[in-house]
């Protein structure tokens, strides 16, 4: 370098050219160190390097192996940086002064479509109790299940944190790494979101809280703030909700069930479903065994708890009598399935749920059912016992405007309008007709598909062999499957449109086979029938072995009135919390059928009312379209139809809700044996559609 201290590039060029380089005093050694003799008359400028890597003076592999000093630097710097970051985060993270808003928990308010209030439900049920009121075995049931090292850990679990980090890295749930202290922190200070920032805050606050509070106070706080389902926060109210007793009266077996609920009451409340019951029973048994493993329950006492402690049925909330409870249940279910609001968050209250239900139409549907069933007398007629009626009315844009779930929600919580246990029968045939018109038929396996029109003719006689491209269809009983018309009537050669209008089942069964039952299934799914409600793909599929709810049946028919456009049914328009809108995923329309096909189906259904099998529905008004539905074993009666503004489905059936075994409708209401099973749903449908107009 010269006095001006040249840049490396210039100095290097001068050295390589053999130019004498003038340097400042005191830097001779530096220059000499950087001029490398390369042989007689050859010198090379060695660039200035902060780190000697690759290492000078080494050959081969050793040139690329770092020294121990370099290794210490490489490993130490990140460690120092991470330690500093953790120390900084620990310092700046404070224990919040404000608790989550338990003191301001409210009801959830449901509104009719016109904005008027429908119901107030979901008041949070919480009552604090001191820890000494909670039996020690119940405490240990919770600790054995959630955090067996609670009394010895510093508020966090190193192994649990490791599992949580792995879970977060792989996209899993971080919940599994939380101690009781961390869960308490989350309950009272933080939100339920699962991400790295919230998890780190939770851990730091847990450590600090563990230093400030006794373990007994932390456990008491956790038990008093945790969600147990059934609207209950805290173990005292949970004991009342599940066992109707004070927490001090719980035994270890009951405590184990409540401890199981902490993993997620929505999945472990045994009263909610059979799957829930199995999960709850398995975890209950595991917790009791775990208490033995941790030395908190003797093997002898554990051996006495062999029968699952069934909780009492969930009591119905006040204000949900009549149809209101069915509407509230459906709206809540829609919110939980189409938003990020968890059941626990929902139970905190403060939500405003604006529904699609129209008060006047709900009242009209209830009145139609009441008036049409006045002749039903289960006390004097065996055929009238266990009668169920379900009905739903859906707008072409998917809004559920009315439903009838049963006589009274507080007496029968099971929703008849939303059940998928009743076969739709011949009311399914318009969907087969739509599939044929839109997809054509195939008479030779692997051959071209042939278009069909409303005027395409089929054999309408009774008892005709059902055919596949290879020949007759053989049933599992070893016999050829044959068509079966109502009353075994022979219709001769009939067009497909006439078969729909006159409810001739034989041609529809054969059309389903010709289209391909899988193709019919695709059409039904496109029109909104849920996959798990669709029947087995056998010839009976074409004449209604599927079991859609009344809601889904009405919604499918609505597409015929909407030019083939289909929108999944929905019951909530908007959700807010304390006035702030919350994200809600609403369905969008899709073109399920070509518009021309929808017009052809619409024409056939209107023809059925004007002069065909459904002419009894004409009283409902002009331009009514509809279809009756019956089943061969006479276990269900349906009426499904629309008038352009609303599509409505009504189903009647007889069943014991304990096992849902369907019973015959013959003789219902004292009717003669030859009275169609569609008579009662037809009268309900007509009365409602007249009133709704």
Yes or no: say if 587 and 571 are a contact pair by the CB < 8 Å rule: no
DSSP H helical ranges for 52-179 = 68-92, 136-146, 158-169
Please identify every stretch of the chain with a pLDDT value under 70, giving residue numbers as ranges.
1-53, 55-57, 61, 68, 70, 73-106, 122-126, 155, 158-177, 189-202, 315-318
Angstrom distance (rounded) from CA 335 to CA 121: 15
Query: Cβ of 397: how many Cβ atoms within 10 Å?
Result: 14
What is the Cα Rg of the chain in Å? 37
Q: What is the dihedral of CA 577, 579, 581, 586, to 10 degrees?
A: 80
Angstrom distance (rounded) from CA 675 to CA 668: 9
State CA 21 to chain mean position distance.
80
Crossing angle (nearest 10°) for helices 196-212 and 158-169: 170
Crossing angle (nearest 10°) for helices 505-515 and 517-526: 100
Angstrom distance (rounded) from CA 45 to CA 16: 7
Yes or no: say if 425 and 631 are a contact pair by the CB < 8 Å rule: yes
| pLDDT for the residue 15 | 45
Q: Count of alpha carbons within 13 Å of 138, Cβ hemisphere only?
A: 22
Tokens 């405490």 belong to: 139
- The closest of 272, 282, 357 to 311, measured between CA atoms, is 272
Q: Count of alpha carbons within 13 Å of 381, Cβ hemisphere only?
A: 13
| pLDDT for the residue 427 | 97
Angstrom distance (rounded) from CA 258 to CA 280: 10
pLDDT digits (tens, 9 = 90+) for 118-127: 998 865 666 7
What does 265-309 look like in DSSP terms, one character per residue? Answer: HHHH-TTS-HHHHHHHHHHHHHHHHHHHHTTSS-HHHHTT--S--
Is the peptide bond preceding residue 54 cis, with omega within 30 degrees of 0?
yes
Q: Report all structural domains of the chain as residue ranges with CATH numbers, in order of start.
A: 123-302 (1.10.3810.10)
Tokens 């919390």 belong to: 577
Instruction: Label residue 202 exposed, middle or buried (CB < 10 Å: 0-12, 13-18, 19+).
Output: buried
| pLDDT for the residue 571 | 98
């Amino acid at each position: 370098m010269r006095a001006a201290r040249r840049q490396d590039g210039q100095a290097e060029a001068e050295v390589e050219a053999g130019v004498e380089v003038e340097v400042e005093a005191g830097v001779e050694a530096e220059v000499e160190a950087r001029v490398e003799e390369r042989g007689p008359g050859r010198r090379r400028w060695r660039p200035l390097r902060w780190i000697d890597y690759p290492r000078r003076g080494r050959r081969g592999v050793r040139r690329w192996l770092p020294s121990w000093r370099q290794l210490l630097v490489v490993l130490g710097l990140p460690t120092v940086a991470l330690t500093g970051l953790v120390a900084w985060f620990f310092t700046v993270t404070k224990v919040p002064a404000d608790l989550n808003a338990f003191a301001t928990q409210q009801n959830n308010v449901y509104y009719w479509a016109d904005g008027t209030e429908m119901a107030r439900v979901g008041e949070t049920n919480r009552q604090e109790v001191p820890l000494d009121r909670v039996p020690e075995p119940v405490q240990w049931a919770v600790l054995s299940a959630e955090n067996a090292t609670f009394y010895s850990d510093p508020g966090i679990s190193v192994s649990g944190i490791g599992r949580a980090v792995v879970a977060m890295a792989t996209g899993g749930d971080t919940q599994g790494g939380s101690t009781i202290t961390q869960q308490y922190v989350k309950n009272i200070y933080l939100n339920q979101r699962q991400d790295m920032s919230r998890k780190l805050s939770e851990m730091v606050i847990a450590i600090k809280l563990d230093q400030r509070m006794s373990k007994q106070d932390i456990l008491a706080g956790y038990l008093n703030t945790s969600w147990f389902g059934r609207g209950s926060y805290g173990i005292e109210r949970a004991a009342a909700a599940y066992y109707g007793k004070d927490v001090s009266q719980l035994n270890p077996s009951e405590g184990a069930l409540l401890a199981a609920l902490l993993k997620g009451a929505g999945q472990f409340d045994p009263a909610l479903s059979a799957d829930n019951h199995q999960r709850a029973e398995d975890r209950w048994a595991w917790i009791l065994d775990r208490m033995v493993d941790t030395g908190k329950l003797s093997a002898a006492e554990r051996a006495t708890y062999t029968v699952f402690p069934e909780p009492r049925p969930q009591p119905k909330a006040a204000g949900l009598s009549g149809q209101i409870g069915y509407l509230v249940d459906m709206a809540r279910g829609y919110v939980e399935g189409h938003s990020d609001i968890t059941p626990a968050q929902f139970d905190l209250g403060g939500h405003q749920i604006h529904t699609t239900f129209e008060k006047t139409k709900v009242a009209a549907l209830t009145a139609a059912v009441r008036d049409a069933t006045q002749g039903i007398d289960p006390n004097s007629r065996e055929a009238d016992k266990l009668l169920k009626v379900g009905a739903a009315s859906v707008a072409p844009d998917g809004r559920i405007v009315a439903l009838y779930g049963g006589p009274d929600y507080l007496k029968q919580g099971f929703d008849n309008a939303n059940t998928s246990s009743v076969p739709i029968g011949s009311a399914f045939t318009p969907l087969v007709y739509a599939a044929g018109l839109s997809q054509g038929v195939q008479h030779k396996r692997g051959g071209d598909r042939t278009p069909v029109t409303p005027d395409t003719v089929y054999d309408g006689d009774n008892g005709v062999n059902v055919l596949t491209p290879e020949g007759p269809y053989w049933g599992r009983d070893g016999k050829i499957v044959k068509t079966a018309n109502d009353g075994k009537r022979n219709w001769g050669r009939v067009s497909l449109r006439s078969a729909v209008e006159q409810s001739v089942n034989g041609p529809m069964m054969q059309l389903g086979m010709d289209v391909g039952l899988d193709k019919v299934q695709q059409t039904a799914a496109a029109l909104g029938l849920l996959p798990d409600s669709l029947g087995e793909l056998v010839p009976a599929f074409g004449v209604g072995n599927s079991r859609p709810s009344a809601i889904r049946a009405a919604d499918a028919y609505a597409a015929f009135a909407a030019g083939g456009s289909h929108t999944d049914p929905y019951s909530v328009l908007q959700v807010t919390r304390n006035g702030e809108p919350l994200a809600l995923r609403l369905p969008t329309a899709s073109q399920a059928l070509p518009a021309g096909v929808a017009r052809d189906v619409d024409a056939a259904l209107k023809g059925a009312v004007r002069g065909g099998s459904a002419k009894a529905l004409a009283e409902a008004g002009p331009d009514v379209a509809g279809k009756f539905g019956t089943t061969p074993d006479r276990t269900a009666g349906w009426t499904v139809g629309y008038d352009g503004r609303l599509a409505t489905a009504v189903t009647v059936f007889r069943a014991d809700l304990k096992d849902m075994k369907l019973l015959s409708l013959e003789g219902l209401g004292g009717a003669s044996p030859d009275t169609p099973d569609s008579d009662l749903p037809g009268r309900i449908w007509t009365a409602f559609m007249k009133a709704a107009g």
